[in-house]
Amino acid sequence: MTGVLLVTGASSGIGRAVAERALARGWRVALLARRGAALEEAAAGREAALPLVCDVTDAAAVDRAVATAAVRFGRIDVLFNNAGVFPRMATIDEVEPAEWRETVEVNLTGMFLCARAAFRAMRTQRPPGGRIINNGSLSAQVPRPGSVAYTATKHAVTGLTRALALDGRPFGIACGQIDIGNAATAMTREMDRGMPQADGTLRPEPRMDVAEAAEAVLHMAGLPAGANVLFMTVMATAMPFAGRG
pTM for the full model?
A: 0.95
Ranges in the chain, pLDDT < 50: 245
DSSP-derived secondary structure letter, 107: I
Report the percentage of the chain scoring pLDDT > 90.
88
How many CB atoms lie under 10 A from the CB of residue 239? 18
As a dihedral over the C-alpha atoms of residue 115, residue 100, residue 146, residue 137, rounded to 10 degrees, the angle is 0
Residue range 19-28, pLDDT digits in tens: 999 999 999 9
Q: Which residues contact 76 (CB under 8 A, 6 or more apart)?
A: 4, 6, 30, 66, 69, 70, 118, 121, 122, 125, 130
The catalytic residues are: 150
Residue range 222-242, pLDDT digits in tens: 999 999 999 999 999 999 887
Is residue 81 a contact partner of residue 134, using CB atoms and an 8 Å limit?
Answer: yes
DSSP-derived secondary structure letter, 4: E
Amino acid at 215: E
Is residue 31 a contact partner of residue 39, using CB atoms and an 8 Å limit?
Answer: yes
